[in-house]
């Protein structure tokens, strides 16, 4: 019953926040006005600036900001227990994340669709623009690396997800073409396309599981012995980043818009069914959050090497509560497609609240869903002689697998199934990123069994959902990184970087280097758990900078800024604290030992230094600009 209560509280809180707080910000603070000429119409070019109806832009924006962020973050954070994660997702999503996304979108709309970094150059100072661009460059490098790694690991762990994920791409192109040409009714076209996608998911679950076997691929190109650095995660990562290169240089209307629109419907369908399943499982007492997992976990029960809850809770759960990456989507692509200002409340504020709702379902899946006990941990020895763990449905365990009982792992205990998954006897660095994503996939599939849906099919549906959303974030982030690199090329007078193909090549090349970085206990492609906190810290620092820009925008116009103070301080202090711990803590990147990593350490130091510089300059300037407009005026109004 506690599971059902959490769902009801979440729905009431998020809907009330949209109607009350969102409307207050739209009407009293940002004063949305449909008579103002928006960038998509003022600068329409049918490539980047494309006026688009609200539902399509909502789909693009939501799928771009969601990705696997609201899945990986909460799935990791429940190591500390479900209660801190739940509170941060709901309260952070309403009072920090939604304000951040909405404000970033409006500021960009009022400044001809410029990125938040470009706007910072006029609102704060010219030097701030360069500082912001450099921080964006470092942050997006980590974003691309981590999300490329997540999708690759999902493909490795759930080969049933590969077919459905890749087939959605040509379907999106065809759907977009037919929709633009008006070849058939839009609702019929949407339903037919979704049926094909879910049909491919069914095929992938039962008949066409696609695996990349390094030995087979290496032999196909004439190799003899597979090098130690080649594995399926490496191969998938390279394939995904090559895809990102081509996807990010295409016109948005060709692939990005239709694919995001379809993905948004895929999420709405899956999330709706999942929420109903969660409620039903709670009503019939098959899933109980309180009985399935600890509300809070003591520090001495955490895996060895795990970071402390404070400040890491606030940067581990980024997407789902607040994420600096969202300001890049709001100002980088979304603001160039919004058809009128009033649409921005639903797109900016509403989509963030929906993402918070997704994060809550992830917490419930990783705790109450896993607590249903339908999966059991097994062990296998790979070709290199190393023991690997995986979770298999209890009625599908092969005789060659040796099931590990709870007693073997931790001894008799309450929260048995959850403790199997989040085993504190293992080192933090031994967890693969896909294992935490797998907690959501397996826990969600457990919920769906209340509708008699087979576990294997439920896993395929949710794994495809995860992979599609991560791929969406990947190519959107690649496009944003291309913009940043091109701007840096202009600012630093490096002419080759102004070329979109060169800039995109640099973006995916650096992302590959980060994604394939090994952890201290494994080879290339195993460093996800190490990379995620770095992603979280740099990402949340971006949120702090976006709040600064929003603050300056309102401050220069004499509009109240009291609601921004706490979110700004929170997103300045927590990420800097966490980044300092990652750099100089017991297992810091700059501390001698097996975790020492000069590349990640350099990114962390550069990001911290640039951030402190920007905050210092902004605080020095703030008292001087009250009521003074920036040099360039807002987009002009139009009277029709």
In this predicted structure, the answer to whether residue 398 has a pLDDT above a threshold of 80 is no
Q: Which residue has the higher pLDDT, 400 or 120?
A: 120
In this predicted structure, the answer to whether residue 12 has a pLDDT above a threshold of 70 is yes
Sign of the Cα pseudo-torsion (92, 97, 102, 108, in order): positive
For 436-475, give the DSSP string: HHHHHHHHHHHHHGGGT--HHHHHHHHHHHHHHHHHHHHH
Instruction: Give the chain's end-to-end CA distance (angstroms, integer).
Output: 55
- pLDDT tens column, 295-339: 999 887 888 778 899 999 999 998 899 999 899 889 988 999 999
Residues in the chain: 640
In this predicted structure, the answer to whether residue 61 has a pLDDT above a threshold of 60 is yes
Query: Which region holds residue 362: left if phi is over 0, alpha if psi is between -120 and 50, else beta?
Result: alpha
- pLDDT tens column, 117-148: 888 888 888 787 888 788 888 888 888 888 88
In this predicted structure, the answer to whether residue 640 has a pLDDT above a threshold of 80 is no
C-alpha 150/C-alpha 72 separation (Å) is: 9
**Mean pLDDT across 16-44:** 96
**Mean pLDDT across 394-398:** 66
Q: Which H or E run contains 379? A: strand 375-381
Which 3 state secondary structure label does DSSP give 591?
coil
C-alpha 487/C-alpha 133 separation (Å) is: 8
**C-alpha torsion angle, residues 23, 28, 29, 35 (rounded to 10):** 90
The model's confidence at residue 275, banded by pLDDT at 50, 70 and 90, is very high
C-alpha 405/C-alpha 411 separation (Å) is: 9
In this predicted structure, the answer to whether residue 390 has a pLDDT above a threshold of 70 is yes
Query: What are the residue boundaries of the structural domains of the chain, listed by start?
Result: 2-271+308-353+455-519+531-580+603-624
Predicted local distance difference test score (pLDDT) of residue 183: 58
Predicted local distance difference test score (pLDDT) of residue 516: 79
In this predicted structure, the answer to whether residue 578 has a pLDDT above a threshold of 60 is yes
Rounded to two decimals, the pTM is: 0.89
- pLDDT tens column, 422-445: 877 777 766 666 678 889 999 999
For 22-56, give the DSSP string: IHHIIIIIS---TTBPPHHHHT--SSS---B-HHH
Sign of the Cα pseudo-torsion (174, 177, 179, 183, in order): negative
Predicted local distance difference test score (pLDDT) of residue 638: 43
In this predicted structure, the answer to whether residue 517 has a pLDDT above a threshold of 70 is yes
Per-chain mean pLDDT for the chain: 85
In this predicted structure, the answer to whether residue 21 has a pLDDT above a threshold of 90 is yes
In this predicted structure, the answer to whether residue 405 has a pLDDT above a threshold of 60 is no
In this predicted structure, the answer to whether residue 639 has a pLDDT above a threshold of 80 is no
Most confident of 165-174, 469-478, 526-535: 165-174
The model's confidence at residue 213, banded by pLDDT at 50, 70 and 90, is confident
Predicted local distance difference test score (pLDDT) of residue 280: 93
**484 is written with which tokens?**
């940043």
Count other Cβ atoms within 10 Å, centred on residue 182. 9
Q: Are 115 and 483 in contact (CB under 8 A)?
A: yes
């Amino acid at each position: 019953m506690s599971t059902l209560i959490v769902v009801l509280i979440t729905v009431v809180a998020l809907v009330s926040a949209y109607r009350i707080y969102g409307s207050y910000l739209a009407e009293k603070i940002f004063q949305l006005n449909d008579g103002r000429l928006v960038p998509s119409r003022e600068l329409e070019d049918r490539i980047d600036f494309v006026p688009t109806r609200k539902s399509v832009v909502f789909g693009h924006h939501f799928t771009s900001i969601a990705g696997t962020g609201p899945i990986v973050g909460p799935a990791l954070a429940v190591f500390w227990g479900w209660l801190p994660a739940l509170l941060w997702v709901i309260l952070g999503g309403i009072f920090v994340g939604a304000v951040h996304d909405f404000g970033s979108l409006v500021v960009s709309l009022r400044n001809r669709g410029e990125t938040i970094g470009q706007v910072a150059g006029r609102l704060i100072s010219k030097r701030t623009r360069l500082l912001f661009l450099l921080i964006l460059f470092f942050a997006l490098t980590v974003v691309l690396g981590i999300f490329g790694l997540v999708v690759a690991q999902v493909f490795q762990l759930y080969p049933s997800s590969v077919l459905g994920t890749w087939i959605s791409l040509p379907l999106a192109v065809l759907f977009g073409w037919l929709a633009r040409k008006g070849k058939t009714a839009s609702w019929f076209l949407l339903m037919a396309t979704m049926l094909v996608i879910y049909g491919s998911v069914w095929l992938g679950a039962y008949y066409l599981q696609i695996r990349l076997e390094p030995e087979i691929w290496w032999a196909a190109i004439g190799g003899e012995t597979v090098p130690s650095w080649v594995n399926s995660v490496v191969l998938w990562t390279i394939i995904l980043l090559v895809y990102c290169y081509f996807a990010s240089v295409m016109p948005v209307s060709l692939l990005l818009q239709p694919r995001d629109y379809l993905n948004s419907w895929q999420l709405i369908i899956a999330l709706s069914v999942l929420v109903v399943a969660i409620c039903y499982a709670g009503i019939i007492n098959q899933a109980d959050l309180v009985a399935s997992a600890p509300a809070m976990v003591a520090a001495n029960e955490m895996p060895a090497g795990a970071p402390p809850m404070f400040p890491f809770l606030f940067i581990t759960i980024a997407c789902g509560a607040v994420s600096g990456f969202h300001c890049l989507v709001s100002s980088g692509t979304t603001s160039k497609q919004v058809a009128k200002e009033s649409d921005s409340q639903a797109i900016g504020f509403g989509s963030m609240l929906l993402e918070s709702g997704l994060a809550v379902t992830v917490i419930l899946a990783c705790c109450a869903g896993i607590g249903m006990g339908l999966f059991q941990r097994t062990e296998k020895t790979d070709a290199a002689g190393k023991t690997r763990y995986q979770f298999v449905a209890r009625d599908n365990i092969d005789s060659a697998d040796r099931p590990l009982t709870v007693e073997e792992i931790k001894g008799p205990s309450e929260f048995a199934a959850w403790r199997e998954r989040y085993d504190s006897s293992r080192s933090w660095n031994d967890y693969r990123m896909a294992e935490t994503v797998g907690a959501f996939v397996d826990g969600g599939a457990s919920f769906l069994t209340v509708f008699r849906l087979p576990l294997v099919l439920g896993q395929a549906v949710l794994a495809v959902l995860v992979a599609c959303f991560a791929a969406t974030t990947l190519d959107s982030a690649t496009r944003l990184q291309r913009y940043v690199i091109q701007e840096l090329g202009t600012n630093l007078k490096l002419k080759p970087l102004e070329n979109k193909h060169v800039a995109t090549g640099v973006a995916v090349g650096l992302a590959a280097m980060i994604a394939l970085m090994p952890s201290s206990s494994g080879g290339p492609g195993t460093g996800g758990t190490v990379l995620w906190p770095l992603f979280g810290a740099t990402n949340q620092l971006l949120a702090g900078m976006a709040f600064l820009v929003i603050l300056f925008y309102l401050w220069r116009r004499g509009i109240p800024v009291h609601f921004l103070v706490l979110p700004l301080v929170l997103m300045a202090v927590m990420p800097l604290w966490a980044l300092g711990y990652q750099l100089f803590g017991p297992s810091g990147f700059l501390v001698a030992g097996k975790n020492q990593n000069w590349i990640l350490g350099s990114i962390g130091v550069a990001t911290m230094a640039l951030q402190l510089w920007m905050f210092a300059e902004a605080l020095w300037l703030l008292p001087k600009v009250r009521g003074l407009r920036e040099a360039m005026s807002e987009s002009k109004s139009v009277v029709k």
